[in-house]
C-alpha cells in the first residue's frame, strides 16, 4: 500500500509566482490535512479537507492561500503571489474516517522563494 505521496519534493519559485503543491492520500483515506513547518519548529495546522469540502481552514492565511480536494485527483495547496516568508516545508497528511486513528504523513514539499 502506498503511503501519502507529495510532489514535488522541492519547489523553487520567484517572488510573485504561484506555487502548486500536490498530495495523494493513502488509498481509502477520506481526510486530508495540510501543515506547514518552519526550520527548527513543529508543524502548524493549515487546513483540513474531505472530498470536495473544506472542513476547517482556520490555520490558513486568508489571502493568497487556497486548498482543494476534488472528487477525482490529488489534493492541491495553492499559494499565489509567493513571498519570501512562504519558504517552508509543507506536509500533507491523511487519515481514515475512524476515530482514534493516526494521521499518515508524506515527505513534504520544500518550498524556496528566491
Partner 1 sequence: SQQGEEDPQALSIQEGENATMNCSYKTSINNLQWYRQNSGRGLVHLILIRSNEREKHSGRLRVTLDTSKKSSSLLITASRAADTASYFCAIHAGETSGSRLTFGEGTQLTVNP
* Nearer CB in complex with partner 1: 2/98: 98
* Nearer CB in complex with partner 1: 72/99: 99
Assigned C-alpha cell, 96: 481514515
Give one word for 44, left, alpha or beta, with left for phi > 0 and alpha for psi -120 to 50. beta
Residue 68 within binding range of partner 1, rule CB under 8 A = no
Bridge partner residues of 68 (DSSP): 76
User: Of the ranges 12-20, 31-39, 61-69, 71-79, which one interacts with partner 1 (CB under 8 A)?
Assistant: 31-39
Q: Are 49 and 69 in contact (CB under 8 A)?
A: yes
User: Of the ranges 12-20, 69-77, 78-86, 87-95, which one interacts with partner 1 (CB under 8 A)?
Assistant: 87-95
Amino acid at each position: 500500500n502506498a503511503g501519502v505521496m507529495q510532489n514535488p519534493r522541492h519547489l523553487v519559485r520567484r517572488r510573485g509566482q504561484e506555487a502548486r503543491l500536490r498530495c495523494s492520500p493513502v488509498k481509502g483515506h477520506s481526510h486530508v490535512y495540510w501543515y506547514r513547518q518552519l526550520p527548527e519548529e513543529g508543524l502548524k495546522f493549515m487546513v483540513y479537507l474531505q472530498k470536495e469540502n473544506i472542513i476547517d481552514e482556520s490555520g490558513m492565511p486568508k489571502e493568497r492561500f487556497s486548498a482543494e480536494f476534488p472528487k477525482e485527483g490529488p489534493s492541491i495547496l495553492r499559494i499565489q503571489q509567493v513571498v519570501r516568508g512562504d519558504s517552508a516545508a509543507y506536509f500533507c497528511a491523511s487519515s481514515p474516517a475512524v476515530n482514534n486513528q493516526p494521521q499518515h504523513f508524506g515527505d513534504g514539499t520544500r518550498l524556496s522563494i528566491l
